[in-house]
Amino acid sequence: MSNMSQATATETTSEGVIESVSGPVVTAIDLDARMNDVVYVGEEGLMGEVIEIERNLVTIQVYEETSDVAPGEPVENTGEPLTVDLGPGMLDSIYDGVQRPLDVLEEQMGAFLDRGVDAPGIDLEKTWEFDPDVEEGDEVESGDVVGIVPETESIDHKVLVPPGYEGGEVVDVNSGALTVTDTVVELDNGEEIQMRQEWPVREPRPTVEKETPTTPLVSGQRILDGLFPIAKGGTAAIPGPFGSGKTVTQHQLAKWADADIVVYVGCGERGNEMTEVIEDFPELEDPKTGKPLMSRTSLIANTSNMPVAARESCVYTGITIAEYYRDMGYDVALMADSTSRWAEAMREISSRLEEMPGEEGYPAYLAARLSEFYERAGKFKNINGTEGSISVIGAVSPPGGDFSEPVTQNTLRIVKCFWALDADLAERRHFPSINWTESYSLYKDQLDPWWRENVDEEYPEYRQWAVDVLDEEGELQEIVQLVGKDALPEDQQLTLEVARYIREGWLQQNAFHDVDTYCEPEKTYLMLTAIRTFSDEAFAALEAGVPVEEAIDIEAAPRLNRINTQEDYEAYIQELKDDMTEQFRELY
Amino acid sequence: MQKEYKTITEISGPLVFAEVDEPVGYNEIVEIETPNGEVRRGQVLESTSEYVAIQVFEGTSGIDRNSSVRFLGETLQMPLTEDLLGRVMSGAGDPIDGGPDIEPEEEREIVGAAINPTAREYPQEFIQTGVSAIDGMNTLIRGQKLPIFSGSGLPHNDLALQIARQATVPEEDGADGGETEFAVIFGAMGITAEEANEFMDDFERTGALERSVVFMNLADDPAVERTVTPRLVLTTAEYLAFDKGYHVLVILTDMTNYCEALREIGAAREEVPGRRGYPGYMYTDLATLYERAGRIEGREGSVTQLPILTMPGDDDTHPIPDLTGYITEGQIYIDRDLNSQGIEPPVNVLPSLSRLMDDGIGEGFTREDHADLSDQLYAAYAEGEDLRDLVNIVGREALSERDNKYLDFADDFESEFVQQGHDTNRGIEETLDIGWELVSQLPKEELNRIDEELIEKYYVEGQAEQVTAD
Ligand SMILES: Nc1ncnc2c1ncn2[C@@H]1O[C@H](COP(=O)(O)OP(=O)(O)OP(=O)(O)O)[C@@H](O)[C@H]1O
Ligand SMILES: [Mg+2]
């Protein structure tokens, strides 16, 4: 302790001097700083964050490119941790990893991202219609809603008393067109409430407690909803080698999941993938509300070629925005593509700090950081008494597609859904290429009541049947590999045929087909019942002595693979079931 | 600031450490003069108030502690002008074709800034390469980065050259079927003189050279220079595309040599290595190259990248292909078995992928049936491939009629669709028609990836029976 105080006793001020520069890591001397303070580095004032303090030497990770920055240049400490601006205007927006609005940056510096330019996370000049929910004389506490702002077509933004406020009696209320920095409500203790608040990204916003989630986050993807459902407030990981479908799955979730708010974090991935979202989402409609998808979406894009330190922070920026909307009582879904790039950013910074490396060069705190992050997901009771949830779905990009590596393994220890992507399936264009034997969901049982109540009492039984058939297929395939299909007994040949329809007709789903891209739970269920009808009737025919070739060759059967693209699926399925039954009965 | 220091304290591999008493900028360019008057260039990798670490492009041999060090006060720049077209430069950016000096219109930092995702335009224009395995199955799109994953001794260069020769974009506005040609920027990193000649001869033979810029770092050129070459290439490409309106095709070969150079520098700095000894930041480093492809809203031109890499041991889980695949928008695999069967180009379509294909094909781009047909070809070929293992064990007779059809399909797909020769230029219609003839060997009910209406329209009757007949 004593040498600590000695260190601080040397003369430090809020202005220090650069001592060394190596890529994104800069050291400074004589800087009075606390861990995680935000600093401005060099003549150009590049934004950075304090990540290590050793005696008089402060180490900073810089969120911008550091070419040309030299020792001797100044470093200025803001004395504040890395925060995000929270308030209306975050939806229908796109930010970099430290919440700089990319569209504003484009206006200021053109098509290429220059450095040293800063812009507030939310527009300080724009006015919003503030509709108060409180009157003079009302008592409010931290977390309480004091008014509503129509933020986008689909979302009412609730203005909350910031956490940490003491609260008290309302003495003044404003309404009408106001900017985010105008005071909307004033309390008797002098506290002023604005539409904008700040929050340090590395600190979870307070809640009362976590609750057990019991409602599914319906994704409209058959294999997810049908076999491996995630709950609202749940966590899922999508690991898979390159090109196996992580991003398409994340995009599908961002488009069709029945969350109120979507926060999409593009963490160290491709520029064009973000452009695709920016171009597509405004054109797409929320199947529930008919409103443009973009109006419920906030995007964070720190692509692979953008500074690596800002990549490290982008997941925190994302989850803090998610927590803020959760506090309003919304169900939020956050996608992070890819958490591996975040872990690699940690590794890169850590190795420049010459920290003792853990497994595969990752810092020893990798597991802790991952679990702290996923801990921020959940279904919560908020401090204002409402309920809200954050579901987190993280893509994982294991080197060489090998799931035994540290990021995949540490993630699997935390998350409750595992959607394992499979390069083999992707190669044969079986999409989504989620491996049905390796994947699992630990939410299945707690979500069954929802399916029984909202879709069909029988659904869980049908699902189990499908799983059993697929399992049996897996075993039979091993034999087929040795002796060929025709050597199997007839009933087993038929099982293979049923399994094929489950795979091709039900599990496969084309994200790029206008109809197939979204499948409501009712359709997911009914499609399975159609395959079941085929199975039951075919086995009955077999019993009655019909040869298997004839049974599987009935004219109607191939239509099982076409239900997916039918808009009017109920009529189609009914007719198909009738035709199959009739055709089977004709055989004996 | 042109102060000269004679303060070298340590020389280690490609690195030189020198003491300084004035601040030096990170990434700044350095000139080191050896006692016998030779000048080497380098770049600051780490700068502190007392010393700097310098990475020397041309290698450190001959440098001693008496060499002098000059800091130029700027980062590495590329001189830019349209007159670069037709020129041949060294891997460090100096003309080596005996032509006149480059008179730049401007100079730009070669590090390059990231394109703001909001300024990008999603690439959607189909490039016809005339190669069925690409056009039909893994369509290349203008502004895409699509690497060729190959192995040593395989004909990846022939494929790259075929693409460079044949690539055209059918223009919508040119009603008379006008087509635009690409400007080709070729960056060689550590390839042999023989390989380099292959490219140069072809460029000269076809007259492509006048719309090309060539940067040559050969096998016997300094390895560290290779970390600079692709950045010179891409800075030139961006300039020609986004300032001068060219559609640029960038060929970078061999990315494996580039990565080896990175590893060498990392080792010299005694960095904590990542997987298999490659630097932990290799993903980020490669991304700052590959992401310099694309289209920008409101600008004429485009940068399309075709990097080539040879996979050590043909292993695509090796960090070089692995990290590349995680960044690029797909990949084309060159296959050793297909090559030894004489298939030309020996493209294995199954693991190959073009991620931008979905939005660039179909009605208005290629043809309405393209997406469904290619899906079906994939599925059927994969099924046929699987059966090949089985047939080796149980023989053809033990397989059902259906299985035999898939086996025949897989063989024919390779010999008729993939096989075409390096000089054949197939139009997209022709490619798709061959595809239909092949899938029509299968009964209609099997074609569950294809819309029923399209089957009615394109299915070639009679093919299925023919095959079973023989
Ligand atoms: N559900 C789907 N429907 C149709 N095609 C799909 C689907 N999922 C994936 N694909 C195809 O697979 C390709 C690769 O998918 P994607 O980009 O999601 O891979 P990824 O796992 O994110 O790869 P990377 O790790 O390199 O980012 C897509 O471009 C698309 O062609
Ligand atoms: Mg992806």
Residue A6 has pLDDT above 50, yes or no: no
Q: Which of A195, A221, A251 is at the close of a domain?
A: A195
State the distance between the two ends of chain A, measured CA to CA, in whole angstroms. 90
Pairing of strands B247-253, B183-191: parallel
Among protein residues, the one whose CA lies closest to atom 10 of ligand 1 = A245
Alpha-carbon distance B103 to A452, whole Å?
Answer: 76
Are A152 and A296 within 8 A, CB to CB? yes
| Chain B partners within 8 Å of A279 (Cβ) | 122
Structure tokens at B94: 């100096």
Structure tokens at A11: 């003369």
Yes or no, beta carbons of A272 and B327 under 8 Å apart: no
Considering only residues B169 and A446, tell me which one the structure prediction assigns the higher pLDDT.
A446
Q: What is the CATH number of the domain that holds A216?
A: 3.40.50.300
User: B292 at the A interface (CB within 8 A)?
Assistant: yes
Yes or no, beta carbons of A21 and B319 under 8 Å apart: no
Distance of CA A248 to the CA centre of its chain: 13
Among protein residues, the one whose CA lies closest to atom 6 of ligand 1 = A431
Q: What is the CATH number of the domain that holds A490?
A: 1.10.1140.10
SS3 A586: helix
Q: Which of A397, A417, A443 is at the close of a domain?
A: A443
**pLDDT at residue number A8:** 37
Q: Which of A266, A348, A558 sits opposite B448 (nearest CB)?
A: A558
Are B292 and B230 within 8 A, CB to CB? no
Q: Which ligand is nearest to the CA of B353?
A: 1
Q: Which amino acid is at B314?
A: D
Among protein residues, the one whose CA lies closest to atom 9 of ligand 1 = A245
| Chain B partners within 8 Å of A337 (Cβ) | none
Q: Are residues A135 and A65 in the same domain?
A: no
Alpha-carbon distance B436 to B368, whole Å?
Answer: 13
Yes or no, beta carbons of B113 and A110 under 8 Å apart: no
| Chain A partners within 8 Å of B445 (Cβ) | 558
How far is the alpha carbon of B197 from chain A, nearest alpha carbon, in Å? 33
Considering only residues B464 and A381, tell me which one the structure prediction assigns the higher pLDDT.
A381
Q: Are residues A313 and A422 in the same domain?
A: yes
Of the candidates B18, B82, B11, B66, the residue with the CA atom closest to the CA atom of residue B44: B18
Q: Are residues A187 and A216 in the same domain?
A: no
Alpha-carbon distance A44 to B134, whole Å?
Answer: 46
Q: Which of B288, B329, B356 sits opposite A305 (nearest CB)?
A: B288
Considering the domain boundaries, does residue A305 fall inside one? yes
**pLDDT at residue number A564:** 95
Q: Are residues A163 and A227 in the same domain?
A: no
**pLDDT at residue number B180:** 66
Considering the domain boundaries, does residue A117 fall inside one? no
Q: Are residues A322 and A371 in the same domain?
A: yes
Give the range of the structural domain holding residue A482, as residue numbers without chain letter. 459-585
Q: Which of A195, A218, A244 is at the close of a domain?
A: A195
Nearest CA in chain A to B352: A427
How many domains does chain A contain in total? Answer: 4
Alpha-carbon distance B49 to B45, whole Å?
Answer: 14
Nearest CA in chain B to A549: B400
Considering only residues B176 and A259, tell me which one the structure prediction assigns the higher pLDDT.
A259
Considering the domain boundaries, does residue A452 fall inside one? no
Considering the domain boundaries, does residue A221 fall inside one? yes
Considering only residues A493 and B179, tell me which one the structure prediction assigns the higher pLDDT.
A493
Of the candidates A549, A519, A522, A540, the residue with the CA atom closest to the CA atom of residue A584: A540
User: B357 at the A interface (CB within 8 A)?
Assistant: no
Considering the domain boundaries, does residue A93 fall inside one? no
Share of chain A above pLDDT 90, in %: 85
State the distance from the centre of ligand 1 to the C-alpha of A250, rounded, in angstroms. Answer: 10
CB contact set of A487 (below 8 Å; sequence gap of 6+): B398
Q: Are residues A289 and A178 in the same domain?
A: no
How far is the alpha carbon of A251 from chain B, nearest alpha carbon, in Å? 14
Residue A2 has pLDDT above 90, yes or no: no
Q: Which residues of chain B have pLDDT under 70?
A: 1-2, 171-180, 465-470
Q: Are residues A385 and A433 in the same domain?
A: yes
**pLDDT at residue number A163:** 94
How far is the alpha carbon of A36 from chain B, nearest alpha carbon, in Å? 23
Are A372 and A223 within 8 A, CB to CB? no
Considering the domain boundaries, does residue A454 fall inside one? no
Considering the domain boundaries, does residue A39 fall inside one? yes
Q: Are residues A244 and A393 in the same domain?
A: yes
Alpha-carbon distance B125 to B98, whole Å?
Answer: 38
Q: Which ligand is nearest to the CA of B328?
A: 1
How far is the alpha carbon of A362 from chain B, nearest alpha carbon, in Å? 9
Alpha-carbon distance B210 to B214, whole Å?
Answer: 10
Alpha-carbon distance B223 to B204, whole Å?
Answer: 27
Residue A125 has pLDDT above 80, yes or no: yes
**DSSP one-letter code for B115:** B
**CA distances for A446 relative to A231, A329, A460, B299, angstroms:** 9, 22, 12, 53
State the distance from the centre of ligand 1 to the C-alpha of A248, rounded, in angstroms. Answer: 5
SS3 A137: coil
Among protein residues, the one whose CA lies closest to atom 8 of ligand 1 = A245
- The secondary structure of B328-339 as a DSSP string is SSEEEEE-HHHH
The count of residues in chain B is 470
Share of chain A above pLDDT 70, in %: 98
Are A489 and A482 within 8 A, CB to CB? no
Q: What is the CATH number of the domain that holds A13?
A: 2.40.30.20
CB contact set of A391 (below 8 Å; sequence gap of 6+): A217, A230, A231, A232, A233, A234, A235, A236, A257, A259, A331, A332, A333, A334, A377
Structure tokens at B23: 């601040």
Scan residues 24-53 of B and list those with Cβ closer than 8 Å to A: 24-28, 45-49
Look-up of token digits 């506490």: A141
Q: Are residues A177 and A215 in the same domain?
A: no
Other residues' Cβ atoms within 10 Å of the Cβ of residue B129: 24
Q: Are residues A57 and A166 in the same domain?
A: no
Q: Are residues A519 and A397 in the same domain?
A: no
Name which of A64, A68, A504 to mutate to probe chain B: the one with the most chain B Cβ atoms within 10 A of its Cβ: A68
| Chain B partners within 8 Å of A480 (Cβ) | 390
Q: What is the CATH number of the domain that holds A130?
A: 2.40.50.100
Q: Which ligand is nearest to the CA of B325?
A: 1
Nearest CA in chain A to B52: A20
**pLDDT at residue number B470:** 42
SS3 A144: coil
User: B281 at the A interface (CB within 8 A)?
Assistant: yes
A307 strand-pairing partners: none
Q: What's the pTM?
A: 0.94
pLDDT tens-digit map of A89-113: 999 999 999 999 999 999 999 999 9
Determine whether A522 is exposed, middle or buried from the number of CB atoms within 10 Å of its CB (0-12, 13-18, 19+).
middle
How far is the alpha carbon of A423 from chain B, nearest alpha carbon, in Å? 8
Is the previous residue joined to A229 through a cis bond, with omega within 30 degrees of 0?
no
Pocket of ligand 1 (CB under 6 A): A 240, 242-248, 269, 397, 431-432, 509-512; B 326, 353, 355, 358
Nearest CA in chain B to A511: B358
- The secondary structure of B356-402 as a DSSP string is THHHH-STTTS-TTHHHHHHHHHHHHHHHHHHHHHHHHH-GGGS-HH
Among protein residues, the one whose CA lies closest to atom 11 of ligand 1 = A245
Alpha-carbon distance B377 to A104, whole Å?
Answer: 45
Are B294 and B143 within 8 A, CB to CB? yes
Of the candidates B195, B254, B248, the residue with the CA atom closest to the CA atom of residue B226: B254
Considering the domain boundaries, does residue A428 fall inside one? yes
Q: Are residues A183 and A289 in the same domain?
A: no
Of the candidates A579, A554, A575, the residue with the CA atom closest to the CA atom of residue A566: A575
Range in A199-208, A320-329, B53-62 with the lowest mean pLDDT? B53-62
Residue A7 has pLDDT above 60, yes or no: no
State the distance from the centre of ligand 1 to the C-alpha of A305, rounded, in angstroms. Answer: 20
